[in-house]
Amino acid sequence: MSDIVIRDGTEDDWDFIEEGLIESSLLTERAERRGELSLETLRDQARKNIERFHRNAKKPEAAFIAEVCGVRAGFIWVSTEIGLGTGEFCGWVLDIYVRPEHRRRGIGSMLLSKAEEWARKQNAGSLWLNAGAENEAALALYRHEGFKVETVHMSKRL
């Protein structure tokens, strides 16, 4: 694993993060909805999220980049939030993404560890994330890293 480096993200990384946001959006959506989503819609939403949570951030946020032999392989983007039910100050994983060719090498675990470290430095009491219900690989990673189901987000197509 010595060829894997986790570094702080820079402004030069946001095009890469945008592409990862698009790909991870497809993994998060239920299979029957994926066909309804155009690349243009996904790109527009990724740009809006970057604008809202990064460029116009009103609270701490950070991005960390995983590189393999100097090539970007993944990222994690974290922020902070106040828990609605508890009022607890917590870290929030806005997104995590690892390119398919670099999966199952421990990069996701390394990125989550970096996010935990960052959240602790922000004095967060916990770290939260959302996952697509059908993204079994991500769910397995999160369980392996000690995440527990706290809430269930449900939707109904209208």
DSSP structural state of residue 100 = G
* pLDDT of res. 135: 86
93 bridge partner residues: 78
* pLDDT of res. 33: 61
Q: Give the count of beta carbons closer than 10 Å to the beta carbon of residue 114.
A: 19
Q: What is the pLDDT along the chain (158 residues), one digit of tens a residue?
A: 569 999 999 999 999 999 999 888 877 665 556 566 677 888 888 888 777 777 666 778 899 999 999 999 999 999 998 877 778 899 999 999 999 999 999 999 999 999 999 999 999 999 999 888 888 999 999 999 999 998 887 777 78
**Could you state, in order of their start, the residue ranges of all structural domains in the chain?**
4-144
Q: What is the DSSP string of 54-94?
A: IIT-SS-EEEEEEEETTEEEEEEEEEEEE-TTT--EEEEEE
End-to-end alpha carbon distance in the chain = 47
- The CATH architecture annotation of domain 4-144 reads 3-Layer(aba) Sandwich (3.40)
